[in-house]
Copies of this chain bind each other. A is one copy, B any other.
Amino acid sequence: MAELHPQLMKDCLLIGRFPLCRLLLMQDANYPWFILVPDREAVTEIHQLGADDRRQLLSESCALATVLAEHFHADKLNIAALGNVVPQLHVHHVVRYHDDPAWPAPVWGHTPAKPYTAKALDEVIDKLRAGAPDGLELLV
């Protein structure tokens, strides 16, 4: 299994696994903010993945996004592979609301991270569990 970049380990909780990707939750209660990390070594861009891995990433991303849209009642999803700071390929899936702290700006660098309370964290996990994204094994 590819090691997670130390910055991702510091900023996120590992909450689940799809066949290709680990699913992380950003420790920032301002937004339900998930990250998919394909379990491949030394890949920094989506197009560097092989054809099967690309399709699997798309499938896992869409399975997650469908649940985020429906069970989190997202006003919008922000899906992005940036990686300017953390080179390991990772794809942000951020649930956006018209009344969130950064709306309509992107979330990166906008507002200091807000720690989760235990209750708020449980609520996020419960919504994800209720949505049951196709292929996801929850680890929490």
Contact = CB atoms under 8 A, between A and B. Distances in A.
A103 interface: yes
A109 interface: yes
Q: Secondary structure of the A side of the interface?
A: mixed
A117 to B, nearest CB: 27
A77 B109 contact: no
Nearest to A67: B47
Contacts of A78: 80-84
A69 interface: yes
Contact of A47 (B65, B85, B108): B65
Interface of A: 44-47, 54-55, 58, 61-62, 65-66, 69, 76-85, 87, 96, 103-106, 108-109
